[in-house]
Amino acid sequence: MNYKWLIRRLASVIIAMFVTIVISWALLEYSPYSPANYIMQFINPQDFAQKPGLYSSLIQYLNTLRPHGNPLINAVNYINNVIHGNLGLSIVSDVPVAQIIAAALPWTLFIVTTSILISFFLGIRIGQKLAYIRGSKTDSITTVSLSILRAVPIYVYAALLVFVLGFVYHVFPTGGAYSPNVTPGLNLAFIISVLYHAFLPILSLTLVNLVGWILHMRANTISVLGEDFVNFAEIAGVKKSIIEKKFIGKNAILPLYTSLIIAIGFSFGGSLFVEQTFSYPGVGDLLITAITSNDYPTEMGVFIILIAAVIIGNLIADLTYSFLDPRAKVGEE
């Protein structure tokens, strides 16, 4: 491994995190519509420390993030707080934002990771099969249909599923992460309830991601089928199953690996609509609630999670790709 490249890559990740967090913080913190700016129009900031009750959490929030009038100093103070795990207090509940996110994050990780893995493995199998029958009527109809379905927004899938399977036929619950009648913990009743409530959110995310994986795998497989080493293997009499698995499948999947890791990060954003539709208590639902209630500390905390998921996903993909494809050396220009 090229350690100079690794140091440069880690430095770029830190800089990217820093810049995006500062920009996001500035857009929210100094927005004309932020609760902080609204209240500061009517109340002298010097009197904040003497205001109890209704403004207690907002006061602590302002004292933490705006101890100075200089925006640059305030930004540095905020980054310092983030590094030490201090994301401030929720204006609505007066609870540390880090604690709120820690309670919501596992639910989002569960539905996002599960849906990505299911859609990925199904997608590569279906896409590979479509590539083998390329040019046929079945392939043409399927490809056109998938292209149309790919243009459907994720919230449409979620709304249709919750309406049909939730409200019309009452097959699945329409909200929550588990039944209030079960005791949380490592017991069978709780696990079944969690899977039951997560089925529709996972299905919504899976349907959206599945279409993309099928089309990408089909295109990659068709490209590999035209390579000389595949033709040579066929001429040499290598078994068809071995050609499909080791020669075609492996080389067609490799370009999708980076997309898989990055997709996990970006799926956090897609889960926002799904969790809101199904009232699923993840970070997406938390973000919507924070936006509607002008809970800016919580908004920033969720933004940081989304930013970190995408940037770290890119880093993991860069660092691990060479283990799957020895031809790609980490750090080579």
pLDDT tens sequence across 27-47: 777 776 665 565 555 555 555
CA distance 189 to 241: 42
**What percentage of the chain has pLDDT greater than the value 70?**
84
* Cα–Cα nearest to 289, from 136, 97, 18: 97
What pLDDT shows up at residue 332? Answer: 55
Asked whether residue 197 carries a pLDDT value surpassing 90, the answer given is yes
Under DSSP, is residue 89 helix (H, G, I), strand (E, B) or coil? Answer: strand
Mean pLDDT on 18-24: 87
> Of 143-147, 181-185, 260-264, which range is least confident?
260-264
What pLDDT does 143 receive?
93
Longest CA pairwise span in the chain (Å): 85
Task: Give the per-residue pLDDT at 33.
Answer: 63
How deeply is 104 buried, as exposed, middle or buried, from its count of CB atoms within 10 A (0-12, 13-18, 19+)?
buried
pLDDT at 51 over 70: no
Confidence of residue 210 (pLDDT cuts 50, 70, 90): very high
Q: Go through the domains of the chain in sequence order and give each one's CATH number.
A: 3-83 (no CATH), 99-324 (1.10.3720.10)
Instruction: Summarize pLDDT for 62-114 with one digit per residue, the tens.
Output: 555 555 557 777 778 888 888 888 888 887 787 889 999 999 999 999 999 99
34 phi, psi to nearest 5 deg? -70, 150
Q: Token digits for 122?
A: 């199904």
Question: What's the rounded Cα separation, in Å, for the pair 138 and 129?
Answer: 11
pLDDT in tens, 239-292: 888 888 888 888 888 888 878 887 877 777 778 889 989 999 999 889 988 888
Average pLDDT, the chain: 83
54, pLDDT greater than 50: no
Among 132, 148, 129, 141, smallest CA distance to 214 is for 129
Task: Please state, for a pLDDT cut of 90, what percent of the chain lies above it.
Answer: 37
Give residue 192's pLDDT: 95
> Could you give the CA distance from residue 122 to residue 212 in angstroms, rounded to a whole number?
11
pLDDT of residue 57 exceeding 80: no
Q: State both tokens at 207.
A: 């349907």
Q: 3-state class of 30 per DSSP?
A: coil
What is residue 34's predicted lDDT score, i.e. its pLDDT?
Answer: 61
pLDDT tens digits along 121-140: 999 999 999 998 988 999 99
